[in-house]
Structure 1
Amino acid sequence: MKTRAPLLFIFSLISSFSYAQVNLGEVVITSQRQDSSSVIGQKTMTQLQRLNVASALNLLPGITLGNIGPRNESVVYLRGFDLRQVPVFIDGIPVYVPYDGYVDLARFTTYDLSKITVSKGNASVLYGPNTMGGAINLVSKQPTRKLEVQGNLGWLSGGYDGALNIGSRWKKFYVQAGVSKFQRDYFKLPNDSKRENSYNSDAKVNVKLAYTPNANSEYAIGYVNQHGEKGTPVYAGKDTLNSQFKSPRFWKWPYWDKQSLYFLSNTKLDSSSYLKVRAFYDQFRNRLESYDDAKYTTQTKPYAFTSFYDDYSVGANAEYGRALSSANSIKAALHYKKDIHRENNAGEPVRKTSDNTYSAGLTDEHQFSEKWRATAGVSFNARESDGAEEYNSTTKVISQFPANKNNAVNVQASLSYQPTSSRFLEASFGRMTRFATIKDRYSYRLGTAIPNPDLKAEQATHYELKYNDVSIARLRIQAAVFYSRINDVIQMVNNVKFDTAASRWQSQMQNKGRAEFYGGEASFNYQITTGLNAGVNYSYITRKNLDNKALHFTDVPEHKLTGIIGYAIKRLELNVDGSYNSFRYSTSYGTKAPGFFLLNGGGSFIINKYLKFSAGVNNIFDKEYMLVEGYPEQGRNFFTKLLFNL
């Protein structure tokens, strides 16, 4: 009954209310065909108080919000694949952390975004390497008028937020600039107690200047600087096998900073061809402080330390497209990326690790008739080390790991059938890969593991069938079923070598795993009447370890249901959104985070054509829930906001 109740409740809400401005899981339509990208627009993010990328992505089917508890990092899983296998881009520029391939999506605020697009499963080979499970692209704002000023000032439980975006477009130029700040000193649990060390703060400045000589060409230079800091709440679970149970971490991050400088161009070469070029420099720096205890004042214990990362990536990519005929077009892309990772603890010398990654991809699209279309793609990817240093804390000597390299080939194909302008069916196949990260290959994991520089790329073979239908008046239906087979999974293998000095066995990352992910997703959007709209989506995902069925995949529930409802009339807009997640495993040996149902609500009042006031409450029922066992999430919380648009 506990599982069934929230499902019945949310469906009853959907039958009674709607939200006119939100299309949950919206799919981009080009040339009257619907592609595989799900899109979240700025209006949806603003209306539903989705202040960071992680919470915004959680609205979509097939995507699960997760939390790396010991690091207090917000992540998402796309059909079961994590962010190492689903890279994150800003305007096509990769921004994931060089060391481990992850990125804390809570540090990326949404104030300056126009939309977020998601490619699931068979993401185009034109994205470049490591898109084994898909790709996420954050698209920045662009002005459309001579002067645009948008912003907000808000209060939220435990903190505040604010943003200002200014843009201007002339005949051949435009400029877009923005500044934002999010500050939360703490959050409260359902028992009304403050969660210790739960603060976080994020500030961002961005500017983009573009030259548009004609309607078909654009050249832009952009700069983004973001500063973040956060605490990590201490483990509060009951799992005695969890290392955090006996040895809790008292961690703070005084800074988690990124800055990016990039160049983008899109040139129309002639009536049938174009060239896109991107070049970038992306820097990531952070500082982690581990303390003796919850007072966070001393660092004298053996586990206390101060760690520094100073990383950067530099690279470029180019994409060329040409229509060979009215029925056939090709696209080709070249990518190069150099990742530099530098780390040290206070009092130790800096160690440097460097990788070079290359990719060349080609796609072809052929329109057989008005109803039938086929696409195919292939790419060759390569990664090679360019030096990897290790430090012996006993001898105080820095030495080099042996050189290593790895190649991988991606292939994909799809066949689509569109019997009418309102129905679309597509079957696709792809073999996608992901290279081992610097951490995968070289980390000693605090002395418990043996590095493995020669790790090969993981491989995933995807099969997908999807269907989209807008033939019924005011109703949009989107559905997909998928199956993924993963080979050479990089996983930890225990008891590889006995460490005599430490009197313990050591583990190692190896290409030993085989797995399968499969499931389905569906979304429905129905405009009941003018100003009254409802949307709901459902995801089912199963992940199986084919080599050891006793080991569980973590952090992704089998069932997820999300609904949005609302009402808009004259100056008043109301919305309710709810989500249900079934239980998920938090450890491979079976510890669970229970399932939960959350309900949020809000509304806004248009004061005049320049000002709007909004307010709302999240987790209305003050539900106690966790995304990972031992790390409870925020209880009932409130927000108010004044938005202006000139």
Structure 2
Amino acid sequence: MKPCTEVVLFLSILFLSYLCIPGWTQPLPSNDPVRVFSLGEVTVPGRRGIDSANTALSRRIEAFNRLDVGRALNLLPGVTLSNVGARNESMVYVRGFDLRQVPVFIDGIPVYVPYDGYVDLGRFTTFDLAEVNVAKGFSSVTYGPNTLGGAINLVSRRPQKRLEFDGRAGLLSGQGHRLNLNIGSNLGKFYVQGSASQLRQQTFPLSAQFVPQPQEDGGRRENAYRNDRKYSLKLGFTPNATDEYTISYINQQGTKGTPPYVGSDPKQTARFWQWPYWNKESWYFISRTALTSTSYLKVRLFYDRFRNLLSAFDDNTYSTQKKGSSFNSYYNDDTKGGSLEYGNRIVRQHNLKASFHYKQDRHRENNQGEPVRTFIDQTLSAGIEDVYTLTPKLSLVPGISYNSRRSLRAENYESATKTITPFSGNNSDALNAQTGLFYNPGNRQQLSITVARKTRFATIKDRYSYRMGAAIPNPDLKAESALHFETAYTDQLALSHPAQFLSLQASVFYSRLTDVIQQVNNVQPGIYQFQNTGKAEFYGGDASLKAQVSAAFQAGAQYSYIHRQNLSNRDLKFVDVPNHKVFVYAQAQLFRRVALVGSVEYNSARYSTSYGTQAGSFVVANTKGSVRLQQYVSLEGGVNNIFDRNYALAEGFPEPGRNFFVNLVIANL
């Protein structure tokens, strides 16, 4: 974002603050005032209402000051925040499954990078979202392919007033700031929603307990800068009460550095990497048309473009590229496709959905001075699911889908001859099936038992990457598969007053993985290859408890447990997920104008490498306070990592020590 643009955005927030009128207060709200873009939701069939164990609303995300999607998702049980330290990428695991196996969607449209199936959640800020949803294991077949472990859906906003706005201008530790503004207008048959934001930091402070290392002298973290800008615009047309048509555009522009490794593992070395640009553009159309009083057709069409540059340097001056390990690597990817969803309540007992998906991914890459290599995959999926009401309290939800992936183009670069030759083509097919039984003894109670067989196709990187000369490509990799079993219970107990309740959600699960894509060593001397040789099992449970003690005070606690075991090679460790995670929080509204939020999170130790290097356990406490100055104006601030703990999500890549933030807030929501 240019300096003049930053000034305009900041002045816009101040101008809207000036328009506000003093004298309005409210108690701690229990519902989020941000209107969810319902066309962007993908619901789990059979589930009832808002599932707080799998949904984080925008008010909660802001209450806990979660600035990017990765940290917002970490508010949910069964979800673990991780950090791919060598790439400085924010990731999450959902019950042990990574983002290749739990793809990310925006309003139901896939946004993961075509090459490797991942997406850096640190580049996705939360400022313009209405909610984030997670489906674990048993998920709707209308998501399409590759939802082996579930799906993550980022749902945008839809205005409900003639004029609504909210924004923040704030300062962060590490010479950082945030600027964001959302403006929407609903004029009846037409609406518009727009946003602009920037999240920028030069560095972040390390804990005072950090011991200086050769590549890090403490204080401010080296090469830890970020600058993420995002703009979005949505235009909607609602000709009647049942139909809706929208066009959306999203532009993300990012740049970042990768802090060097400063751990004790002799097998790890420091990388001196920077991303001069990490840019993503998306265009999409979503519509819902009522065909009859009981049927509808939903259409999604999308085009997504992703470009980035990774620059590797010789040393920590980040100025020369003379060594063999230094390079400039260019990615130029795009994705196009769409989906059709047909729904029909054929009879009172059956609510049927059928869907068809088409997606074409194109990945182009080259190092500076080399020719461009192109890879193209085409993926198709067709599925059907039904909510069959057996009795007023009991529903059966079966679903099935067929997925197909075709390799249309794959090119190999021969560095010795500097020529491009084709890889052998390959195709893969997979069948998914699931069923769930949902029992609702009361309006606020549900017991469910689900079984789901899900699959994931091997990515372009899985099949064709030489891994910087350490591996042999394997174009013939077939789909991984997982069989999930889950029992879940939800209950909300009313206390002595309508504003008081106790909410409980708990689940236990078991997942059996087969044909896991796993590294097989010494296929050639000193060279490995990825093959479908792995078998594994994941099992555990999640529990969350929320107590609304009064209209002005609520508290909650979450516990997640998981055990992951590689059955085909017990010496290989699964990485980045602790066995135990605990999250405890409390929110209070004081004097109707002051709000306080506090939270404590515990993670047990986790493996950072498959051969046993560990990141230790940690406890981190955060707090935030806000005061309403006028009707639409608030001032808020807080402290993260209050006790300045020296901890890491990945060994050798320390997280921020004690850090501060302060924001000026304007909102008429």
Could you state the TM-score of these two structures normalised by the residue count of structure 1? Answer: 0.93
1:503-556 deviation digits (Å, cap 9, x = unpaired) = xx2110100000000000000000122311101110001100001111110000
| CA–CA separation in structure 1 for the residues paired with 2:308 and 2:203 | 21
The equivalences for 1:188-227 within 5 A come to 188-191=205-208, 193-227=219-253
Instruction: Return the offset for 1:33.
Output: 2.8
Is residue 512 from structure 1 mapped to residue 533 from structure 2 by the alignment?
yes
Give the letter aligned to residue 190 of structure 2. Answer: F
- Count the aligned residue pairs: 616
Q: Which residue of 1 aligns with 2:5?
A: none
- In structure 2, the partner of 1:251 is 273
Does the 8 Å contact 1:151/1:644 carry over to 2? yes
* Structure 1 residue 372 corresponds to structure 2 residue 394: yes
Measured after TM superposition, the shift of residue 215 of structure 1 is: 1.6
Q: Could you tell me how far 1:590 is from its partner in structure 2?
A: 0.8
Partners of 2:423 and 2:337 lie apart in 1 by 24
Matched AA of 2:560: S
Report percent identity of matched pairs.
52
1:177 and 2:177 equivalent? no
Matched, 1:108 2:129: no
* Equivalent residue in structure 1 for 2:100, among 81, 84, 88: 84
CA distance in 2, matches of 1:92, 1:522: 27
2:84 aligned to which of 65, 68, 72: 68
Q: Describe the superposition over 1:578-612 as per-residue Cα deviations: whole angstroms up to 9, x where unpaired.
A: 10000000111111100000000011001111101
Given that 2:46 and 2:395 are in contact with CA atoms closer than 8 Å, whether structure 1 keeps it comes out as: no
Match of 1:526 in 2: 547
Aligned residue runs from structure 1 range 459-474, under 5 A: 459-473=481-495, 474=501
Report the CA distance shift for 1:485/1:616 in structure 2 as closer, same or farther (over 3 A): same
Query: C-alpha displacement at 1:30, in angstroms?
Result: 9.7
Alpha-carbon distance change, 31 to 306 in structure 1, aligned in 2, over 3 angstroms: closer
Question: Is 1:420 aligned with 2:442?
Answer: yes
Residue equivalent to 1:15: none
Contact 2:482 2:511 in 1 (8 A): yes
Give 1:100 deviation, angstroms. Answer: 0.2
| Equivalent position of 2:520 in the other structure | 493
The question of whether the paired residues in 2 share the 8 Å contact of 1:61 and 1:538 is answered with yes
When structure 1 is superposed on structure 2, of 360-369 and 76-85 the one drifting more is 360-369
1:471 Cα shift? 3.0
Match of 2:136 among 107, 120, 124: 120
SS at 1:444 equivalent:
coil
Q: In the alignment, residue 170 of structure 1 is paired with which amino acid?
A: L
Q: 1:620 aligns with which of 611, 623, 642?
A: 642
Q: Deviations over 1:96-155 (max 9, x none)?
A: 000000000010001110111111111111110000000011111111111112211000
2: CA distance, partners of 1:510 / 1:28? 34
Asked if the contact 1:23/1:535 (under 8 Å) is kept, the reply is no
Residues 18-52 of structure 1: CA deviation (Å, up to 9, x unaligned): x955799xx99999935777111111111111111
User: In the superposition, relative to structure 1, how do residues 252 and 376 fare at CA in structure 2: closer, same or farther (>3 Å)?
Assistant: same
| Per-residue CA distance 1:177-217 (angstroms, 9 max, x = gap) | 11000000000100261110001110001101011101211
Match of 2:111 among 80, 89, 95: 95
Name 1:317's counterpart in structure 2. 339
Instruction: Give me the whole-angstrom Cα distance separating, in 1, the residues matched to 2:585 and 2:341.
Output: 38
Q: Distance in 1 between matches of 2:507 and 2:613?
A: 30
Task: State how 1:474-623 maps to structure 2 within 5 Å.
Answer: 474-498=501-525, 505-569=526-590, 570-623=592-645
SS at 1:86 equivalent: coil
Query: Does the CA-based 8 Å contact 2:45-2:387 persist in structure 1?
Result: no
1:44 aligns with 2:49: no
Question: In structure 2, what is the equivalent of residue 10 of structure 1?
Answer: none
Q: Compared with structure 1, are the counterparts of its residues 35 and 486 closer, same or farther at alpha carbon in structure 2 (3 Å cutoff)?
A: farther
Q: Which residue of 1 aligns with 2:329?
A: 307
Inter-partner Cα distance in structure 1 for 2:130 and 2:637: 22
Tell whether 2:148 aligns with 1:132: yes
Distance 1:32 1:236 in 2: 45
* Structure 1 equivalent of residue 352 of structure 2: 330
Contact 1:28 1:38 in 2 (8 A): no
CA distance in structure 2 between the partners assigned to 1:29 and 1:265 by the alignment:
20
Question: What does residue 263 of structure 1 align with?
Answer: 285
Task: For 2:280, give the aligned amino acid.
Answer: K
TM-score when normalising by structure 2: 0.90
Aligned CA distance change for structure 1 residues 29 and 66 (closer, same or farther; 3 Å): closer
Assess if the C-alpha contact under 8 Å between 1:32 and 1:421 holds in 2: no
Query: C-alpha separation between the residues in 2 aligned to 1:422 and 1:309?
Result: 49
* Deviation string, structure 1 residues 417-476 (Cα, Å, up to 9, x no partner): 112223210000010000000000000011111100000000000000000011352100
Looking at structure 1, the residues matched to 594 and 611 of structure 2 have their Cα atoms a distance apart, in angstroms, of 50
Partner residue of 2:48? 33
Write the distance in 1 (CA, Å) between the matches of 2:502 and 2:294: 36
Query: Hey, what's the Cα distance between the residues in 2 that align with 1:605 and 1:90?
Result: 33
Partner amino acid for 2:510? Y
CA contact (8 A) 2:44 2:140 kept: no
Task: Assess if the C-alpha contact under 8 Å between 1:20 and 1:527 holds in 2.
Answer: no
Matching of residues 342-381 of structure 1 within 5 Å: 342-381=364-403
Tell which deviates more after alignment, 38-47 or 617-626: 38-47
Paired position in structure 1 for 2:20:
none
- Confirm or deny: 8 A CA contact 2:580 2:603 kept in the other structure: yes
Aligned mates of 1:229, 1:135 — CA distance in 2: 27
Q: Quickly say closer, same or farther: Cα 1:22–1:597, change in 2 above 3 A.
A: farther
Distance 2:642 2:522 in 1: 47
Alignment partners' CA distance in 2, 1:64 and 1:34: 24
SS in 2 for 1:33: coil
- Alignment-derived partner of residue 72 in structure 2: 56
Name the amino acid aligned to 2:360: K
2:453 to 421, 431, 434: 431
How far residue 342 of structure 1 moved from its aligned partner, in angstroms, is 0.2
One-letter identity of the residue aligned with 1:231: G
CA displacement at 1:369 relative to structure 2: 1.0
CA distance in structure 2 between the aligned counterparts of 1:32 and 1:436, rounded to whole angstroms: 30
Counterpart-to-counterpart distance in 2, 1:94 and 1:417: 32
Secondary structure (helix, strand or coil) at the match of 2:483 reads: strand
- Amino acid of the structure 2 residue aligned with 1:79: R
Residue 22 of structure 2: aligned partner: none
Cα distance per residue 1:286-319 (max 9 Å; x no partner): 0000001000000001111001000000000010
Q: 2:410 aligns with which of 388, 393, 418?
A: 388
- Does 2:177 correspond to 1:160? yes
TM-aligned CA distance change 1:291 to 1:338, over 3 Å? same
Aligned to 1:4: none
Q: Which amino acid aligns with 1:95?
A: V
Are residues 1:144 and 2:160 paired? yes
Deviates more, 1:559-568 or 1:476-485: 559-568
